[in-house]
Amino acid sequence: MPTQPADVIVAGSGHNGLVAAAYLAKAGLKVQVLEAHPTPGGMTSTAPVDGMPGYLVNEASIQPSLFRTTTIMKDLELGSKYGLKMQVIDPVHLQLNYDHSSLALWRDAQRTADELKHWSKKDAEALLTLYRVVHAAVDIAIPMMQTNPVRPDPKAILKAAARTLKHRKELVAVGRWMGSTQLEALEDTFESDPIKACLLIGLPFMAYDSDISGWSLIYMGIITKYGVAMFEGGTGELPKALIRVIEDNGGSVRTSAEVEELVITAGRVTGVRLKGGEALHARRGVLTAFSPKRVLRDLLPAGTLPPRLENRVRHIPTRSRGFSDLKLDVLTKGRIRMDKVEQWRGDGIDCRLPANGYHSYEQVKAAQLAAKRGELSPHIPGLMQIGTALPSNRHHAPEGCDTAWFWSGLAPNDPREGWDAAREQIGRSIISDADHYYEGLEELDVFHRVRLLPDIEERFFAQDGSVYHVDPLITRFGPLKPAPGFAGYSTPVPGLFLTGSGTHPVAGISGMPGQNAARTMLKLFKREDKRGTAAHAIEEAREWDRVEDAAVPQPDPAPAAQS
């Protein structure tokens, strides 16, 4: 007998796909997860480096922040049963200055303000005021982030309304801050370079001078209210734990299985066809967990969507910001030191552990403008962290060696030099600049790899190399993400569902898109069962079973006995 069809196929094993699959499996559905790459986890994977035995790298994301606002750890027993552990990184960022002084962003806002007094007492007071406003925005937003944006849970609406009333005195300030440009918000609030540079380097979601880009400072509220953590053992421990949940509940995860086409029967998505031709059936539906533009434009058979919706899909922004993301991994033959930075601080913290920036405010602004012109800035601002600084990650490199992680959102979409020259120049530039703070980095470098837009697209199946899957424009949030008509995880095509960074609410390690998608699917399946509207899908699955049974070679009947 052939393998029975799954109830739900989840295409893509990024953490949101796995979170959704785990919830669906725990609810009693038979789930099969398909991953195109040999390593599961998508942007949360931890993997070896070809040709460099003994080294492991976190391939993309490293710090979960919004994940800590959810109930996912508790609901799926990730910690209590499956051993997943997180360590809060405090301070989460250091802004390193050329003289080796530094400003730390602590979870305790007052502690950050006290450090900021070294450069400006006025800025220290302004920072605490900003935190009060940002905390109000976070408090109001979280309930609406953890529900369906098109059909929100009434409890979430009531909670958000109550919190809005609680923070009514801050609402005018929230509106003024969120409605401004990021540059305007920073320059109106602060005068000293360290705090302005710090709050620009790590938040290049939109063009710094575009209206409503000030909203990105909401990240400050996440830092202090919930803390930012790392998974002990590497980011890949998250997908490993989620896969164990899925398998313990009767599901399966299959790698090296790239979905090439969605299969439609009688107007409903009933399965997928893999690269190579293999067809897999799903009784209840298919959930995709990668770039929605690619799903809706390239994987649906032509003509599935009406022209008006096809047009919306074509215009989902994935390359509209004028700049793109890059990731650099550096493997070393010895230990990177930060003695000069740590000597200046004198407080005993391991400065290698936070994700640190080390460029000035003007350098950050200049880098974004250069990227929008297709040029490589002489300095590439971003965040660097020594992955092996976390004690549980020391096995990621041979004894006495390190791995360094660097991310920037300030690379060109189309570098004039071409991609190969850009990779080489960017790698040299970042390592050279970082060596001033990360002592010995240039000399110790035995291997480094730069991933730019086409590399990110190829490795993570991210349309146009966007780690966000949909450009993080405020006009693409909530019921407009990824596009009107596709925002509620279910789609206009019955049996097709969306999750991942390109769906509500945000990218990064949050798990909220996966959790929200699973809840939406379970509610819909329950309604279908009550109304009998899924009966045709069940009958299609039975027909699929009959066809597959007929295709299985049967033994020849025994010859008739001779009389």
As given in the structure block, the two tokens for residue 385 are 């962290």
Contacts of 235 (CB under 8 A, 6+ apart): 41, 44, 45, 46, 58, 59, 60, 61, 62, 509
Per-residue HEC secondary structure of 178-239 comes to: HHCCHHHHHHHHCCCHHHHHHHHHCCCCCCCCCCCHHHHHHHHHHHHHHCCEEECCCCCHHH
Q: At what angle do helices 219-226 and 121-145 cross, to 10 degrees?
A: 90
Give per-residue pLDDT as tens, 60-85. Answer: 999 998 999 999 999 999 999 999 99
Task: State the greatest distance between any 2 C-alpha atoms of the chain, in Å, as a whole number.
Answer: 110
Architecture of domain 319-463: Alpha-Beta Complex (3.90)
* Amino acid at site 137: A
Domain segments of the chain as ranges: 6-45+234-317+469-540, 103-229, 319-463
pLDDT value, residue 177 = 83
Where are the strands (E) in 4-119, listed by range?
6-11, 31-34, 46-49, 52-58, 86-88, 93-96, 102-105
| SS3 call for 444 | helix
How many whole angstroms separate alpha carbon 113 and alpha carbon 119? 10
Cα–Cα separations (whole angstroms), residue 552 to 278, 545, 547: 15, 11, 9
As given in the structure block, the two tokens for residue 202 are 């790590």
Q: At what angle do helices 182-189 and 121-145 cross, to 10 degrees?
A: 140
Q: Confirm if 516 and 146 have CB atoms less than 8 A apart.
A: yes
Cis geometry, peptide bond prior to residue 505 (ω within 30 degrees of 0): yes
pLDDT value, residue 548 = 41
As given in the structure block, the two tokens for residue 379 are 């300095």
Task: Find tokens 């406003």 and name the residue.
Answer: 133
Query: Judging by DSSP bridges, how do beta strands 31-34 and 252-254 pair with one another?
Result: parallel
How many whole angstroms separate alpha carbon 74 and alpha carbon 395? 28
Q: Which of 357, 344, 345, 338 is nearest to 441 (CA)?
A: 338
Query: Judging by DSSP bridges, how do beta strands 268-274 and 279-288 pair with one another?
Result: antiparallel
pLDDT per residue as tens, the chain (563 positions)? 345 789 999 999 999 999 999 999 999 999 999 999 999 999 999 999 999 999 999 999 999 989 999 999 999 999 999 999 999 999 999 999 999 999 999 999 999 999 999 999 999 999 999 999 999 999 999 999 999 999 999 999 999 999 999 999 988 988 888 889 999 999 999 999 999 999 999 889 899 999 989 888 888 888 898 999 999 999 999 999 999 999 999 999 999 999 999 999 999 999 999 999 999 999 999 999 999 999 999 999 999 999 999 999 999 999 999 999 999 999 999 999 999 999 999 999 999 999 999 999 999 999 999 999 999 999 999 999 999 999 999 999 999 999 999 999 999 999 999 999 999 999 999 999 999 999 999 999 999 999 999 999 999 999 999 999 999 988 899 999 999 999 999 999 999 999 999 999 999 999 999 999 999 999 999 999 988 765 444 444 444 444 444 443 444 433 333 32
| SS3 call for 50 | coil
pTM metric for this prediction:
0.93
Where are the strands (E) in 341-455, listed by range?
383-386, 403-412, 445-451
Give per-residue pLDDT as tens, 484-525. Answer: 999 999 999 999 999 999 999 999 999 999 999 999 999 999
Q: Which of 284, 277, 237 is nearest to 257 (CA)?
A: 277
Contacts of 394 (CB under 8 A, 6+ apart): 388
Q: Confirm if 395 and 389 have CB atoms less than 8 A apart.
A: no
How many whole angstroms separate alpha carbon 274 and alpha carbon 262? 9
pLDDT value, residue 553 = 41
pLDDT value, residue 531 = 81
Contacts of 529 (CB under 8 A, 6+ apart): none
pLDDT value, residue 530 = 86
How many whole angstroms separate alpha carbon 28 and alpha carbon 33? 15
Q: Which of 426, 463, 435, 406 is nearest to 62 (CA)?
A: 406
As given in the structure block, the two tokens for residue 165 are 């009333």
pLDDT value, residue 534 = 55
Give counts: helices (H), strands (E), the chain: 19, 17
How many whole angstroms separate alpha carbon 264 and alpha carbon 302? 11
Cα–Cα separations (whole angstroms), residue 426 to 52, 229, 489: 21, 28, 38
Nearest 5°: phi and psi at 409?
-105, 25
pLDDT value, residue 235 = 97
Q: At what angle do helices 121-145 and 109-116 cross, to 10 degrees?
A: 150
Q: Which of 471, 560, 509, 484 is nearest to 64 (CA)?
A: 509
Architecture of domain 6-45+234-317+469-540: 3-Layer(bba) Sandwich (3.50)
